[in-house]
Amino acid sequence: MEEPRTFREGVLGGRESIKGLKVVATDGGAGSVSWASYAPGESYLVVSLGRLSRRHHVLPAGAVTSVGEGEVRVALSREQIKLLPALSHPAAPLGDENVEQMENAFFRAARFARHS
């Protein structure tokens, strides 16, 4: 995990959108993609969790390890995803504070993964 806001080369496999796909964390299912931005250097996805009280967390595109049939695999645990910045709505704009929090959480998770 190097560049948090850019999808790894080839990870999208030619897909134009990953919206609606299930998100699979390192420890199991973690919601679904309800929004995504694909511009290099500004890419992220919004993962929606919960059925009754939906929570929307901003996940950096660099955390995506693979995209398969119906699912997006990420290099974060479900708990790490829950600690990412939350948005009130999946399509809500990201503020500078959200971006900074997302990137900090991404780098903390990467450091933790290397030392585990």
Report pLDDT for 42.
92
Report pLDDT for 81.
92
pTM for the predicted model, two decimal places = 0.88
Arithmetic mean of pLDDT over the chain: 89
Report pLDDT for 27.
96
Report pLDDT for 1.
47
**Residue 34 CA neighbour count, 13 Å, CB half:** 19
SS3 call for 103: helix
Q: What are the tens digits of pLDDT across the range 19-76? A: 999 999 999 999 999 999 999 899 999 999 987 678 999 999 999 999 998 999 999 9
Nearest by Cα to 49 from 87, 14, 15, 12: 87
Nearest by Cα to 35 from 43, 80, 62: 43
Give the torsion sign (CA, 23, 29, 32, 36): negative
Report pLDDT for 65.
94
The architecture CATH gives domain 22-115:
Alpha-Beta Complex (3.90)
Please state, for a pLDDT cut of 70, what percent of the chain lies above it.
93
